[in-house]
């Protein structure tokens, strides 16, 4: 083989490898076309576009995006612009997905990644790895001469939450910090770290060599906190989904980790209802005074599991929501819908969806298509005959979302409830949920997801709850540094001690 042929093959192979990278060149003309399509999709299909932002704020951000494109040159630049726009809307059901070829390329990158997982503990970002060159629990001050809190703020856009909530973003940053850093700052050969060790105010400085994508995630799998916080990232098996136990003769603990148990006819749902009836019959029979309801790791699930559970924890009539609407009569911009069916068959799929939408949202009011009194969401439910009437202690965390946060918001609104923990990523007063749509941008092939139903939840107004935030606990408690080091549950220990002191 001649040298010229070898050189040619080498250049081709490099080009092919580079062509899969998020750092490959991407024409501004293509970016502008996709930004135009993205904006059109949001305006016509996304009922949550102005849920937490004014029209002026949204318009301003699109002007920013247009100006950013004028400075952009690579694919990653455009991806970051779309992530910023998506996150700004404030819906935890929003997401932005790279094409599979880029996701595969990232997984094969052999350098450029920050080596260690980090974790937010007592207001500081700390090293969450005990086998590295920086001590476990060390407070990170800066990376590559940029303050850690500025870095974290720049990475918020990759993990969406409701409203302007930021606590929920820690869930993503805890295990994907290095990937997010790579998205925002590119591949780095090394990282210059300023840090403080535990119990020291001395700022130390060191350099760390970058690692491969796969090696970072190997370290994530070995993170020090995994024995305690693996539940934040767990897919729950049916036998792990809900439990009940007695803490003492006066206090029970009901844990519900997931509402993904199917609808009214599903055997898993029927089994869960039987479980609830057994638990609350026992609570009433034994005159239990205190009930801890732990939903800290509940990311959502199916109706009516959240509502049935609430019927055992309330003394009021209630409904799933006060109001729900979508922003279109028929799904718009069908040519950009991302669906596995061939394009010529998509109208059949979309026609079925449109029929369902028309039946569910028959009332048009000022361009909004709303549910009417016949909707199951407005069915007035009554408390169960065995509903608990004692003291409820609701444990919440940044992991709580979707149906989990709807349930937690309702329980939090009870007069006999004290909520303890950290602000949830799901909103107190409402969210965008139920039906997801996915669109593929024509030039970049980025897929954007969002839920189209704008919901106002059936919860009372409370002075410590804000329209654009998650559920704010009555008593804020997060895991302490001391408990992090021994894998101890600060929040559960706190509530048990609180009940003990009140009982005394």
- If phi > 0 it is left, if psi is from -120 to 50 it is alpha, else beta; for residue 421 that is left
Question: Can you spell out the DSSP letters for 124-141?
Answer: EEEE--SSSSS-TTPEEE
Q: 422 and 280, same structural domain?
A: yes
Asked whether residue 169 falls in the same domain as residue 256, the answer is no
Last residue of some domain: 225, 255, 290?
A: 225
Tokens 């318009």 -> residue: 59
The answer as to whether 110 is a domain residue is no
pLDDT, one tens digit per residue, over 6-40 is: 433 333 344 344 458 999 999 999 999 999 999 99
Query: Is residue 126 within 8 Å of residue 138, measured between CB atoms?
Result: yes
| pLDDT 10s digits, 397-417 | 999 999 999 999 999 999 999
460 and 316 fall within a common domain: yes
Residue percentage of the chain with pLDDT more than 70? 96
pLDDT class for 376, splitting at 50, 70, 90?
confident
The CATH number assigned to the domain holding 254 equals: 3.90.226.10
Residue 343 scores a pLDDT above 90:
no
Residue 216 sits in the same domain as residue 298: no
Question: What does the pLDDT read at residue 352?
Answer: 83
The burial class, CB within 10 Å (0-12 / 13-18 / 19+), for 106 is: middle
Q: Is residue 467 part of a domain?
A: yes
In this structure, is the dihedral angle defined by the CA atoms of residues 139, 142, 143 and 147, taken in order, positive or negative?
positive
Domain boundary (191, 225, 259) is at 225
Same structural domain for residues 385 and 331? yes
Please indicate, yes or no, whether residues 329 and 202 belong to a single structural domain of this protein.
Answer: no
Domain boundary among 171, 202, 225: 225
The β-bridge partners of 470 are 427
DSSP type of residue 208: E
Is pLDDT above 80 for 70? yes
Q: Do residues 473 and 428 both lie within one domain? A: yes
At residue 16, the pLDDT reads 43
Using H for helix, E for strand and C for coil, what is the string for 371-426?
Answer: CCCCCHHHCCECCCCCCCCCEEEEEECCCCCCHHHHHHHHHHCCCCEEEEECCCCC
Number of H helices, E strands in the chain: 15, 18
Digit-coded pLDDT (tens) for 296-308: 999 999 989 999 9
- pLDDT given at position 396: 98
74: confidence class by pLDDT, cuts 50, 70, 90:
very high
Structural domain boundaries, residue 216: 118-225
Do 274 and 206 share a structural domain? no
pLDDT digits (tens, 9 = 90+) for 216-260: 999 999 999 999 999 999 899 988 999 999 999 999 999 999 999
Mean pLDDT of 81-97: 97
Helix boundaries (H) for 19-136: 28-45, 55-71, 75-89, 100-107
d(CA 500, CA 255): 20
Q: Do both 215 and 355 map to the same domain? A: no
Question: Does residue 375 belong to any structural domain of this protein?
Answer: yes
Average pLDDT over residues 51-74: 98
Domain count of the fold of the chain: 2
Residues 252 and 149 in one domain: no
pTM exceeds 0.85: yes
In a domain, 485, yes or no: yes
Whether residue 504 is predicted with pLDDT greater than 90 in this model: the reply is no
Looking up residue 122, the CATH number of its domain turns out to be 2.30.42.10
- Would you place residue 54 in the very low, low, confident or very high pLDDT band (cuts 50, 70, 90)? very high
Q: How many CB atoms are located within 10 Å of the residue 353 CB?
A: 14
C-beta separation of 491 from 477 below 8 A: yes
Minimum mean pLDDT range among 5-14, 113-122, 263-272, 429-438: 5-14
Q: What is the predicted pLDDT for the residue at 4? A: 41
Do residues 439 and 41 lie in contact, with contact meaning Cβ atoms separated by under 8 Å?
Answer: yes
My answer on whether 342 and 459 are in the same domain is yes
Containing 16, the helix (H) or strand (E) segment is helix 3-18
**pLDDT given for residue 19 in this prediction:** 52
Residues 326, 458, single domain; the answer is yes
The average pLDDT across 311-338 equals 94
Position with higher pLDDT, 197 vs 352: 197
pLDDT, tens digit, for every residue of 169-208?
999 999 999 999 999 999 999 999 999 999 999 999 999 9
The stretch 251-275 carries a mean pLDDT of: 95
| Residue among 402, 404, 384 nearest 394 (CA) | 404
Q: Looking at the predicted structure, is the pLDDT value of residue 345 above 60?
A: yes
**Count of residues for the chain?**
504
Domain assignment present for 41: no
DSSP 85: H
Q: Is residue 157 a part of any domain in this protein?
A: yes
Query: Does residue 64 lie within any of the structural domains?
Result: no
Structural domain includes residue 14: no
- Report residue 57's pLDDT band, with 50, 70 and 90 as the boundaries: very high
């Amino acid at each position: 083989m001649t040298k010229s042929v070898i050189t040619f093959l080498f250049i081709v192979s490099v080009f092919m490898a580079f062509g899969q990278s998020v750092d490959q060149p991407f024409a501004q003309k293509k970016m502008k076309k996709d930004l135009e399509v993205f904006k059109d999709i949001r305006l016509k299909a996304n009922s949550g576009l102005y849920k937490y932002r004014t029209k002026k704020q949204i318009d301003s951000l699109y002007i920013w995006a247009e100006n950013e494109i004028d400075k952009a040159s690579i694919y990653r630049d455009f991806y970051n612009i779309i992530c910023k726009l998506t996150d700004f809307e404030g819906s935890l059901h929003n997401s932005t997905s790279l094409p599979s070829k880029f996701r595969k390329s990232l997984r094969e990158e052999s350098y450029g990644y920050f080596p260690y997982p980090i974790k937010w503990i007592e207001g500081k970002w700390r090293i969450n790895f005990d086998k590295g060159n920086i001590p476990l629990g060390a407070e990170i001050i800066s990376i590559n001469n940029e303050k850690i809190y500025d870095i974290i703020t720049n990475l918020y856009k990759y993990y969406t939450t409701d409203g302007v909530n930021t606590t929920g973003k820690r869930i993503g940053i805890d295990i994907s910090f290095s990937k997010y850093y790579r998205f925002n700052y590119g591949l780095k050969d090394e990282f210059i770290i300023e840090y403080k060790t535990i119990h020291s105010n001395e700022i130390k400085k060191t350099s760390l060599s970058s690692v491969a994508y796969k090696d970072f995630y190997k370290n994530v799998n070995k993170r020090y906190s995994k024995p305690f916080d693996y539940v934040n990232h767990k897919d729950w098996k049916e036998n792990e989904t809900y439990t009940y136990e007695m803490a003492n003769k006066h206090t029970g603990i009901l844990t519900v980790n997931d509402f993904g148990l199917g609808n009214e006819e599903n055997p898993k749902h029927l089994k869960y209802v039987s479980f609830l009836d057994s638990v609350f019959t026992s609570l009433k029979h034994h005159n239990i005074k205190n009930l801890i309801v732990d939903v800290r790791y509940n990311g959502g699930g199916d109706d009516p599991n959240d509502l049935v559970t609430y019927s055992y924890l309330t003394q009021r009539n209630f409904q799933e929501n006060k109001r729900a609407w979508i922003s279109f009569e028929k799904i718009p911009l069908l040519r950009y819908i991302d669906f596995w069916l061939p394009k010529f068959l998509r109208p059949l799929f979309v026609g079925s969806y449109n029929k369902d939408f028309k039946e569910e949202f028959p009332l048009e009011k000022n361009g909004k298509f709303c549910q009417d009194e016949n909707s199951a969401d407005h069915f007035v439910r009554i408390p169960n005959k065995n509903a608990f009437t004692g003291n409820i202690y609701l444990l919440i965390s940044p992991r709580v979302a979707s149906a989990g946060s709807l349930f937690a918001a309702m329980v939090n609104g009870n007069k006999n409830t004290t909520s303890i923990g950290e602000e949830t990523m799901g909103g107190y007063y409402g969210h965008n949920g139920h039906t997801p749509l996915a669109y593929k941008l024509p030039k970049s092939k980025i897929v954007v997801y969002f839920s189209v139903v704008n919901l106002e939840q059936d919860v009372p107004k409370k002075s410590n709850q804000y329209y654009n935030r998650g559920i704010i606990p009555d008593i804020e408690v997060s895991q302490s540094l001391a408990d992090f080091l021994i894998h101890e549950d600060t929040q559960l220990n706190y509530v048990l001690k609180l009940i003990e002191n009140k009982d005394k």
